[in-house]
Amino acid sequence: MTSSEASLLARLSLNQETIRQWSLPELADGCARAGLRGVGLWRAPVRAYGPRAAARLVRDAGLVVTSLCRGGFFTAEDPAERRAALADNRAAVEEAATLGTGTLVLVSGGLPPGSRDLPGARERVADALAELAPYAAERGVRLALEPLHPMYAADRCVVSTLAQALDLAERFPADQVGVVVDTYHLWWDDTIDAQLARAGGPAPTTGAEAVPGRIAAFQLADWITPLPEGVLLGRGQLGDGAVDLRRFRARVDAAGYRGPIEVEIFNPSLWSRDGAEVLTEVIARFTAHVA
């Protein structure tokens, strides 16, 4: 292994949905045994286990929590639904802080039932960020807005490109609102190189304070076809699909991002296998196709 491969492997983090058959203790143990340093967690299993207990479990295994998935779903027009969403996101911020991660992933939400007003829904996302960002910042948590593939624009996420996510994030200080870069959602975009460079922020000039970039998280999955019904659970293992993962990673590097690289694959074919075997495969694929 070259030293640059080794330094990339040190950044590899497993998003727990990739091996959702593992309980949290199995996840912490399995990742530690495999030599990983980080895990990305989801709210439902963390809440079921207890955030404090989960934080201790992961810490005791020598791991850090690289992100918490996920808050968001900010697009409701109904005031009561909207208040409930904001309250739930404040709880998510608390959970992230308890877990010791500075990154809360946000999926914006789709169109409200019957609505066709994409610009209006997108503006409500900005309104919610304005309410939550200072609250999160006080707790050491940065909001990480994730653009999802345009095929989710109606029912899941009205923020569909990195450019759009950056347009929203840039209304706020960079240390309060960043973006999630996920190869599965963004690989097709012919403007992605320019947008990644934009996300990286200006190069720090001598004597000036470093300006943080906007990339709060970097996630990997490959794009495979045919897509399954509902298009949620068809992500590909690294190297199985159409994404030039190494080239993409190099562009994220060039943008100045040096944080964790999470593998997040939703695919029942991985969930039906032995977790340790899947993780071994993830690491091998990461080495072959990303590092």
CA distance 128 to 171: 12
Taking CB under 8 A as the rule, does residue 233 contact a copy of itself? no
Shortest distance (Å) from residue 188 CB to a copy of itself:
4
Site stretch for a copy of itself (CB under 8 A), options 97-105, 136-144, 199-207, 220-228: 220-228
- Name the helix (H) or strand (E) containing 168: helix 162-169
Choose, by CB under 8 A, the member of 60, 81, 244, 274 that binds a copy of itself.
Answer: 244
Choose, by CB under 8 A, the member of 206, 208, 209, 229 that binds a copy of itself.
Answer: 229
Q: Which of 110, 122, 119 is nearest to 155 (CA)?
A: 110
Taking CB under 8 A as the rule, does residue 5 contact a copy of itself? no
207: helix, coil or strand? coil
Give the chain's end-to-end CA distance (angstroms, integer): 10
Site stretch for a copy of itself (CB under 8 A), options 31-39, 44-52, 95-103, 221-229: 221-229
Q: Half-sphere exposure of 179 toward its Cβ, with a 13 Å CA cutoff?
A: 32
> Cis before residue 204, ω within 30 degrees of 0?
no
Site stretch for a copy of itself (CB under 8 A), options 3-11, 98-106, 118-126, 276-284: 118-126
Taking CB under 8 A as the rule, does residue 227 contact a copy of itself? yes
Taking CB under 8 A as the rule, does residue 127 contact a copy of itself? no
Taking CB under 8 A as the rule, does residue 251 contact a copy of itself? no
Taking CB under 8 A as the rule, does residue 87 contact a copy of itself? no
Site string for a copy of itself, 170-209 (x = CB under 8 A): -----------------xxxxx------------------
CA distance 282 to 291: 12
DSSP 17: G
**Footprint of a copy of itself on this chain (CB under 8 A)?**
111, 115-119, 122, 149-151, 153-155, 160-161, 163-164, 187-191, 223-231, 241-244, 247
